[in-house]
Amino acid sequence: MPGFDTLAIHAGQPPDPATGSVVPAIHLATTFAQSAVGEHKGFEYSRTGNPTRAALETCVAALEGAAYGSAFASGLAAEDAVLRTLAAGDHLVVGDNLYGGTHRLLAQVHTQLSVSSAPLSDLAAVEAAWRPTTRLVWVETPSNPHLWIADIAALAGLAHDRGARLVVDNTFATPYLQSPLALGADVVVHSTTKYLGGHSDVVGGFVATNDPDLAARVAALQNSVGAVPGPFDCFLVLRGVKTLAVRMDRHSANARRVADALAGHGAVGSVFYPGLPAHPGHEIAAAQMRGFGGMVSFTLRGGEAAALKVAGSTRLFTLAESLGAVESLIEHPSRMTHASVAGSPLAVDPALLRLSVGLEDADDLLEDLDRALAVVG
Ligand code: P1T
């Protein structure tokens, strides 16, 4: 089996047999000629299947160690497809820290499902939340925005013993740093908008699994609902994935420096980064991840007012939602990405800021944060 970096560059994208092109073509065609009714070269209609999308699906599935992969128009569209495989009345246990849009999808769209949240690092709490109708455990690890860590193998064991499946949102870790399927998870979902795309220029999502029945249902939903990414979007994610490994190494190194600097700053309350030995999930992260990633969160001693001031005072860290790209971003989860969880048990501390640490020179990033923190410190 070729190594990760080799798969990232070559899986699903050999040189084009017709032209020799070393990058996959952007196949804009919506439909494909048939030589006789039902006789074609594998593609009929681009919602059902498209060669550029097929290249992306083969590549990201290979990176996740999955036999099957389906690409979607956004991370939430990918999540929606997985949730649609459940029946009305089915129950899910989700983490008590979760992307706000996922909460909104569950609370406002999939109202036929019932949902409990629990701290997924605590297996007793997961057991306490269990019901006879529980069919799925849904975990982000590291979680958005708190960077809590859950033990994927332990959760998979617990879910499987009770006849349920484990879904891991691997957006923050990426397949370079974490392989949920190898740890026992049944499904991986991604917002490819983030590290896989990596350049803040494409929105996309992905579902990967080794379960043939589930894969067939997800592919059928992809075709029936039609939340598919366009060929140019697929090309952009494929292009991003080629450099995923080198980017994640640098994201992780820069984030580590940022986390260390914040941990020693007087204006900062708590720093959340799984690479810090004091992080409650550090040992599990060290065992199940190959690096700690580029996301760092921290609270301000001065509470929400201080957090808002700092968020508005950085220059290199751009104040914006999203994450996982080459440029550094800062955001205030409780008013921005997680506004939809306000008032729910998933509500985020208003003193919390989230950083997506990019690939700029780390010294410049530290200087920028130091200057911004001086406003409140
Ligand atoms: O934005 P979209 O591609 O639809 O992906 C949704 C999504 C799913 N899972 C996780 C862990 C996510 O972080 C996201 C999107 N998150 C942001 C936009 C954000 O700034 O947190």
pTM (two decimals):
0.98
For 287-328, what is each residue's pLDDT tens digit?
A: 999 999 999 999 999 999 999 999 999 999 999 999 999 999
CATH code for the domain of 111? 3.40.640.10
Nearest Cα residue to atom 17 of ligand 1: 322
Q: What is the pLDDT of residue 162?
A: 98
- On whether both 226 and 281 belong to a single domain, the answer is no
Distance 33 CA to ligand 1 centre (A): 37
Largest CA distance in the chain: 73
**Res. 53: pLDDT tops 90:** yes
- On whether both 319 and 172 belong to a single domain, the answer is no
- On whether both 64 and 138 belong to a single domain, the answer is yes
Q: Choose, from 53, 68, 99, 349, the residue flagged as catalytic.
A: 99
- On whether both 140 and 263 belong to a single domain, the answer is no
Report the distance separating Cα 214 and Cα 202, nearest Å: 27
Please state the separation of Cα 154 from the chain's center in Å.
20
Tokens for 18?
Answer: 């017709």
CATH code for the domain of 338? 3.90.1150.10
- On whether both 156 and 110 belong to a single domain, the answer is yes
| 81 close to 219: Cβ distance less than 8 angstroms | no
- On whether both 52 and 131 belong to a single domain, the answer is yes
For 97-116, what is each residue's pLDDT tens digit?
A: 999 999 999 999 999 999 99
Residue 177, Ramachandran bin (φ over 0: left; ψ between -120 and 50: alpha; else beta): alpha
Q: Which of 219, 241, 263 is the last residue of a domain?
A: 241
Q: Which of 190, 213, 241 is the last residue of a domain?
A: 241
Distance 72 CA to ligand 1 centre (A): 13
- On whether both 183 and 265 belong to a single domain, the answer is no
Q: How many domains does the chain have?
A: 2
Q: Choose, from 80, 151, 169, 186, the residue flagged as catalytic.
A: 169
Q: Choose, from 5, 47, 250, 309, the residue flagged as catalytic.
A: 47
- On whether both 206 and 251 belong to a single domain, the answer is no
- Concerning whether 47 is annotated as a catalytic residue, the answer is yes
Please choose, from the candidates 240, 233, 248, 171, the residue with its C-alpha nearest in 3D space to the C-alpha of residue 9: 240
**Res. 377: pLDDT tops 90:** no
Q: What is the pLDDT of residue 1?
A: 86
- Concerning whether 242 is annotated as a catalytic residue, the answer is no
- On whether both 137 and 270 belong to a single domain, the answer is no
Which ligand 1 atom sits closest to the C-alpha of 172?
11
Q: Which domain holds residue 348?
A: 245-376
Name every protein residue with a CB atom under 6 angstroms from any ligand 1 atom.
Answer: 74-76, 99, 101-102, 140, 144, 169, 171, 191, 193, 203, 205, 321-323, 337
For 355-371, what is each residue's pLDDT tens digit?
A: 999 999 999 999 999 99
Mean pLDDT taken over the chain: 98
Residue 41: Cβ-neighbour burial (10 angstroms; 0-12, 13-18, 19+): exposed
- On whether both 232 and 250 belong to a single domain, the answer is no
Which ligand 1 atom sits closest to the C-alpha of 321?
20
- On whether both 148 and 160 belong to a single domain, the answer is yes
Distance 205 CA to ligand 1 centre (A): 9
Nearest Cα residue to atom 9 of ligand 1: 191
- On whether both 235 and 287 belong to a single domain, the answer is no
Distance 36 CA to ligand 1 centre (A): 43
- Concerning whether 194 is annotated as a catalytic residue, the answer is yes
Residue 345's pLDDT band, with cuts at 50, 70 and 90, is confident
| Mean pLDDT of all residues in 186-205 | 98
Q: Which of 241, 258, 275 is the last residue of a domain?
A: 241
